[in-house]
Amino acid sequence: MDNLCNFSTSHYIQTLKNYQKTHNFCFFNNSADHDVILRHDIDFSLEDALRIAKIEYDLGIKSTFFILLHSELYNPLGYVSSKLISSILKLGHKIALHYDEIFFEQANVNISDGIKKEIDLLEQHFDTNVDVVSRHNPSIREKKIPVKLPNGVVDAMSDKFTVERKYLSDSVQYWRENCFCNHYNNFTKLQILTHPALWTDEGLSRSEILPRIFKNFSNFHEKLIK
């Protein structure tokens, strides 16, 4: 374990460097043994996502960023937001769909049909391939609605990626099995999920993160109207 186990970008960078000594980094479609699938759910901020994407690019690491189409905090199809996501793609990373089953239920949309349409939308809008999905806020409803995915599309939370390989998540700044810096040599293959907005240069706590997120949200919209 590193001496300063926190949610600072310096700790994030050092931990990834340590993983690079023992593992390769990969995507969902080319995973093997002795590798790490690094994944990010963009629940709050595309600017934070791009910041993390640049950090990983500098380290020679590629990861997958899950886009939420029904966020109240960003519009991935808007001009500025689209540029941010395109910048992530240009760094060699991939995007995936972070679908919201509550939205489909409230909109009375068949979830399998809705997922396919949203995948098609992301692929066409960003001229890229989307081959993996994950559901948003699974803790709100423990029971998952059965989904039929399009051919060639996988679920990041299926047994293949969360049981056959070790799954670690920083959800709301809480690692259920201690910080991922503890596990360099514990598992041969892993899926590591992080939320970019939780990682800051200052290593802010959970109570400090939300005000920062909403401040950045306000600043972002001020830029749009100038």
Reply yes or no on whether the pLDDT at 3 is more than 70.
no
Reply yes or no on whether the pLDDT at 40 is more than 90.
yes
* pLDDT, tens digit (0-9, with 9 covering 90-100), for 148-163: 999 999 999 999 999 9
Nearest partner of 136 among 107, 160, 115, judged by Cα: 115
Nearest partner of 52 among 204, 209, 195, judged by Cα: 195
- Of the pLDDT bands very low, low, confident and very high (cuts 50, 70, 90), residue 220 is low
The enclosing H or E element of 122 equals: helix 111-126
pLDDT of residue 145: 77
The length of the chain is 226
Q: Mean pLDDT in the chain?
A: 90
Burial class (CB in 10 A: 0-12, 13-18, 19+), 197: buried
Torsion, Cα 94 161 141 195, to 10 degrees, reads -40
Cα 181 to chain centroid, rounded: 18
Hey, what long-range contacts does 158-162 have (CB within 8 A, 24 or more apart)? 161/28, 161/31, 161/37, 161/191, 162/191
How is residue 111 written in tokens? 């979830």
* pLDDT, tens digit (0-9, with 9 covering 90-100), for 45-67: 999 999 999 999 999 999 999 99
The whole-angstrom separation of Cα 159 and Cα 155 is 9
Whole-Å CA distances, 93 to 22, 36, 89, 106: 21, 14, 5, 32
Whole-Å CA distances, 32 to 9, 134, 166: 27, 20, 13
pLDDT of residue 219: 61
pTM greater than 0.75: yes
Span 107-114, average pLDDT: 95
- For tokens 């679908």, name the residue: 99
Packing angle, helices 46-59 and 79-90, rounded to 10: 10
